[in-house]
Structure 1
Amino acid sequence: MSDEDDLDEFEPDQEELEKEDDEKETEEWEDHRKEGEEFAEEWMPSPLTEDMMKEGLSLLCKTGNGLAHAYVKLEVKDRELTDISLLRSYIHLRYVDISENHLTDLSPLNCLTHLLWLKADGNLLRSARLNQLPYLQIASFAYNQIVDTEGISHPRLGSLDLKGNRIHMVTSLDPQKLSNLHTLELRGNQLESTLGINLPKLKNLFLAQNMLKRVEGLENLSNLTTLHLRDNQIETLNGFSKEMKSLQYLNLRGNMVSDLAELAKLRDLPKLRALVLLDNPCADESEYRQEALVQMSQLERLDKDFYEEEERAEADEIRQRLKEEQEQEHEAEQEHDLELDQSLI
């Protein structure tokens, strides 16, 4: 798996954009949370063994100066592991999958300084904290019990998955240390704010199924192309700016936007092509589709339907009429001011 493969599903012009909206996936992380609540019991110690290593190792590669060889890929999923201390001896590992176990401690991974790819989903982790791993590019900690974003500072990290955890606030994601992070997945947490996500190279941001009431602190994400905010509690469309000049896809389905006038706040997004507002009160208004296109002439798709040429022509006419009315109002105001000035002479 490469970071290019990982990004394929996030391309803004593909139907895969709605993948995160599937009810099945929503149920999946709810199931994980229920399981996490039942994990109060103590698990019997179950350490990683040499026999498990032999069974899970693969991908023989050259190491060091090229004269030696070692297996660099390990998969030990769903083994009820509680301890991976043995990994401290396998310093050449580059790809590690330790998902679906009962792990609470990832510190043995600090010895794997050649690690490129890590998947630790479905464990009992309270933190994703690790020492800085210089080559780590893809890391997934989905469906754990992680409560913060502290201790994540891998300089080549491109994709970080923290969905289905218990994070309330994003903190300590240092843009200097995470200068290559392009995809951040935070769906299904307990986020109450979008502050703390000031990552200059970020292209894909997934914040669905949280507790967000507004968008804030994202104004300077000039490389962001995809933003998912489905199933939050957002009422207004403040927080978007012309600095978000790359944003092409915005999903606000299942929020609380009721006033069509809020759509005017998205006019400063020059590359916005697809907007999803289904299951918001404003989507029930009769002029909903038309108003969106009047406010955003560059829009190609609203919800799941592309705009037809007839709709585009009608929106152009309305836009032109509004422009003329505004000009007439401005001229009338100027004449009124002039008359007022003359009466005071």
Structure 2
Amino acid sequence: MSDEEFDDESDANELEKEGEDGEEEKESAEQEEERLISNPLTEEIMKEGLSLLCKTGNGLAHAYVKLEAKEKDLTDIGLLQNYIHLRYVDLSENQLRDLSPLGSLIHLLWLKVDGNRLTSATLQELPYLQIASFAHNHIKDTEGISHPRLGSLNLKGNKIQVISGLDPGKLANLHTLELRGNKIETTAGLHLPKLKNLYLAQNSISRLEGLQDLVQLTTLHLRDNQLVTLDGFSSNMKCLQYLNLRGNGITGLQEVAKLQVLPMLRALVLLDNPCADEGDYRLEILVLLSHLERLDKDFYEQEERMEAEELRQHRQEEEQDTEESGPGEPN
């Protein structure tokens, strides 16, 4: 056989091999999908994951009320409909797309379904659910969440762009909302007067809207967004004590002056904003916000407070003199 013939045969064999490899990869992908589709929750997994024996709701029997079934590649949890006494369920790091069987768990208090394939957090109303975590899924909105006793909701690391459907009448006890690491562009849609802690870091927020309804909010995280102005804060926010604005685009201290409408603000974080590079930054912030106790990582010392008070009074006297002399009078 000539070298040329050998090369041609080698090329043909290589192409055939590549074709076989491609088919194998395709078959592997199909098998993977088939494996995901056909991996339901089983009695054996339930037996391994059940714990915490307690009295049932009527007190006449006992049942296991806690289930942990993490990292099982589960695609179907239909079996859970038979375990109506469950109160604590952790189904994190599976392949779940459908949570409808959880609607039968009317005694559920605590739910964690982080790291699945969910595109929605919609669930049938669960009357006793208090803590729910849907972190790191593919959820695109905040619709369909209506659990009357829900206190803490975690939607971190999803694909939410707009906050909508959070009905204060159906979420009357929601005090903590975690929306870090989504694609949210505005704070509009947060009509939750009982909310105390709101985490909105690592989004694309450029507009602060609808904050006037957050009358009980004490903590607000807005780190690593796209804010350049601080319009939108409201004097209705009488409880806000901690505000994190690190890593935005706030350039001038005149924007910080807009925070004077927040009477209880005690801790402010402005690191990694252009305004933090201005001269006498710490002093100027304290002149504007006299009730502030901590800026960035450091508490204000008494000496700083005295200096800020003197500077504030001096500027007030200068303004008063200017007003009395009038703008048209010669020096």
Deviation at 1:44, TM superposition (A): 4.4
Say which of 125, 131, 137 aligns to 2:130. 137
> What TM-score does the superposition give when structure 1 sets the normalisation length?
0.84
Partner deviation per Cα, 1:107-126 (whole Å, 9 max, x = no partner):
00001011000000000000
Deviation at 1:327, TM superposition (A): 2.0
Aligned mates of 1:333, 1:241 — CA distance in 2: 33
Partner deviation per Cα, 1:155-211 (whole Å, 9 max, x = no partner):
000000000000000000001111110000000000011000110100000000000
Look up the match of 1:55. 48
Say which of 241, 261, 272 aligns to 1:268. 261
Aligned mates of 2:151, 2:58 — CA distance in 1: 27
SS of 1:267's equivalent in the other structure is: helix
Say which of 214, 217, 237 aligns to 1:224. 217
Say which of 153, 167, 171 aligns to 2:164. 171
Aligned mates of 1:322, 1:242 — CA distance in 2: 25
Say which of 73, 94, 100 aligns to 1:101. 94
Look up the match of 2:8. none
Say which of 231, 236, 240 aligns to 1:238. 231
Look up the match of 2:61. 68
The question of 1:123 aligning with 2:116 is answered: yes
Say which of 63, 67, 79 aligns to 1:86. 79
Partner deviation per Cα, 1:217-260 (whole Å, 9 max, x = no partner):
11231110000000000001111121111111000000000111
Aligned mates of 2:117, 2:104 — CA distance in 1: 21
Look up the match of 2:316. 323
Q: Is the 2:190–2:213 Cα contact (8 Å) retained in structure 1?
A: no
Instruction: Tell me the amino acid that sits aligned with residue 227 of structure 1.
Output: L
Say which of 150, 161, 174 aligns to 2:154. 161
Aligned mates of 2:57, 2:313 — CA distance in 1: 67
Give the greater-gyration-radius structure (CA).
2
Range moving further from structure 2, 325-334 or 203-212:
325-334
SS of 1:201's equivalent in the other structure is: coil
Aligned mates of 1:110, 1:99 — CA distance in 2: 18
Aligned mates of 2:169, 2:57 — CA distance in 1: 29
The question of 1:199 aligning with 2:192 is answered: yes
Range moving further from structure 2, 217-226 or 120-129:
217-226
The question of 1:110 aligning with 2:103 is answered: yes
Aligned mates of 2:206, 2:272 — CA distance in 1: 16
Aligned mates of 2:122, 2:37 — CA distance in 1: 24
Instruction: Tell me the amino acid that sits aligned with residue 286 of structure 1.
Output: G
Look up the match of 2:19. none
> What TM-score does the superposition give when structure 2 sets the normalisation length?
0.87
Aligned mates of 2:187, 2:151 — CA distance in 1: 20
Instruction: Tell me the amino acid that sits aligned with residue 44 of structure 2.
Output: D
Look up the match of 1:308. 301
Aligned mates of 1:302, 1:55 — CA distance in 2: 50
Aligned mates of 2:69, 2:236 — CA distance in 1: 44
Identity fraction in percent: 69
Q: Is the 2:92–2:112 Cα contact (8 Å) retained in structure 1?
A: yes
Look up the match of 1:34. none
Look up the match of 2:174. 181
Q: Which has the higher contact order (CA 8 A, sep 6+)?
A: 1
Instruction: Tell me the amino acid that sits aligned with residue 329 of structure 1.
Output: T
Look up the match of 1:148. 141
Could you tell me which runs of 5 or more consecutive residues in structure 2 were left unpaired when the two chains were aligned.
1-28
The RMSD of aligned alpha carbons is 1.5
Instruction: Tell me the amino acid that sits aligned with residue 60 of structure 2.
Output: L
Look up the match of 1:289. 282
The question of 1:255 aligning with 2:253 is answered: no
Aligned mates of 1:163, 1:171 — CA distance in 2: 16
Aligned mates of 2:193, 2:37 — CA distance in 1: 44
Aligned mates of 2:189, 2:145 — CA distance in 1: 13
Partner deviation per Cα, 1:21-57 (whole Å, 9 max, x = no partner):
xxxxxxxxxxxxxxxxx9xx73342100001101100
Instruction: Tell me the amino acid that sits aligned with residue 134 of structure 1.
Output: P
Look up the match of 1:280. 273
The structure 1 segments of at least 4 consecutive aligned residues displaced by more than 4 Å after TM superposition are: none
SS of 1:224's equivalent in the other structure is: coil
